[in-house]
Structure 1
Amino acid sequence: MNPALHQFIADYGLWAVLGGTFLEGESVVVFAGFLAHQGLFLLPHVMLCAFTGSFLADQLLFYVGRRYRDHRYVRRIREKPAFDKALAAIDRYPNGFILTLRFLYGLRTVGPVALGVSRVSPLRYLVLNAVAAAIWAACFSLLGYVFGRTIEALLGRIQGVEIKLAIAAALGILVWLAYWFHARRRQ
């Protein structure tokens, strides 16, 4: 195992998880869960970073929608076809929409902005966003951790951080592809 690469991942890997979940983070969190199984991270730390990045990103987008409704960035998001669908779902099921938003393909950016534009109160969004972010972080972190156990059972104890990273990246890509194909079929 390359000690310099191992140290780099140990020093900066959780920051990468935090940053990756601030954007679209499913594959990042699955990857980090796998590395937690391999002993490079502690699983609770992965979950905490995934929660924090996801929670903060959605809170920021909510407040952008709330405060800057007429800004060109928000107007551009409002022009997307998914925006009207999101508003309709928010009107019918505001709590359910907030709790499932992270699991719905194509709504990760549009959804929080639509919630900001809607009549959902900031306090309600804050509480439900925290619950949703915790569920999401736990699910995807554990998915990577369980995949790590399964692969280890199939291949034996994996040696070398480079091999771990390659397998984790392949798993992340497979999860993302499965998620993408499933979302396309639903459309």
Structure 2
Amino acid sequence: MTDTIHLLVAKYGLLAIFVGCLAEGESVVILGGFFAHQRVFVPWQAFAVAFSGAFIGDAALFFLGRRFSSHAFVERMRQKPGFSHAHRLVNAYPNSFVFFNRYAYGMRTVAAITAGLSGISIPRFLVLNALSALVWVTLFGSLGYVGGMGAEKLLGEALAEHQRLIVALVAAVAITATAWYAAHHFFRKGKKNG
């Protein structure tokens, strides 16, 4: 069973990283960095795929907000609790907003659409988005890569491939659950105060 899972990760893992990075994706990038260290993926390929997914995901949402502002999906995003706050921030600090929006867990979709609805020029958005994606992938991918080094030191270099997979999946679930809980707690607290 673990051999089959390992084969699937090796075969479709880069595609999964790309798809995961289209949306939030921090845990996916960390997992990609971990597997890059474990030699399941070639490191530069894992980082390039994660960067592409992150850049394309935010760019697509930006263009959705820019070109299809009356679309039902965009209208739903406008109803989200963080939209009005994001709208104020993008108008007050457009460069910082575009660069840092992907670091606010749970806000990336709303933030990219909000940027599309703002007056930020397309070239400026694309440059800031590319720089932000590069820093984001480097930061979270490196966390995963260093985590792979730590797992190897902790569990030994002879760590079997299926054991690496189990360690990585447990870490990914823990990171995702922690991030979800933190974001959920933050938004619930914001609703009570707002």
Matches within 5 A, 1:43-62: 43-62=43-62
Is the partner of 2:108 in helix, strand or coil?
Answer: coil
CA distance in 1, matches of 2:152, 2:96: 37
Please give the secondary structure, in 2, of the residue aligned with 1:174.
helix
Taking structure 1 as the reference length, the TM-score comes to 0.91
Q: How much identity, in percent, do the aligned residues show?
A: 39
Q: Secondary structure at the match of 1:101?
A: helix
- Aligned-pair Cα RMSD in Å: 2.0
1:18 aligns with 18
TM-score by length of 2: 0.88
Q: Distance in 1 between matches of 2:144 and 2:170?
A: 11
Structure 1 unmatched ranges of 5 or more: none
Query: Which secondary structure does the structure 1 equivalent of 2:40 belong to?
Result: coil
Tell me the distance in 1 between the aligned counterparts of 2:79 and 2:2. 49
Cα shift at 1:13: 1.4
May I ask how many residue pairs the two structures share in their alignment?
Answer: 187
Contact 1:43 1:141 in 2 (8 A): no
- Structure-2 residue corresponding to 1:162: 162
C-alpha separation in 2, matches of 1:121 and 1:45: 30
Q: 1:158·1:164 contact (CA, 8 Å) conserved in 2?
A: no
CA distance in 1, matches of 2:158, 2:66: 48
After superposing the two structures, state which structure 1 stretch, 40-49 or 174-183, moved more.
Answer: 174-183
Whether the aligned pair in 2 keeps the contact of 1:32 and 1:141 (CA below 8 Å) is yes
Deviation at 1:168, TM superposition (A): 0.5
Q: Identify unmatched segments of 5+ residues in structure 2.
A: none
2:59 is the counterpart of 1:71: no
Say if 2:10 and 2:41, in contact at 8 Å, map to a contact too: yes
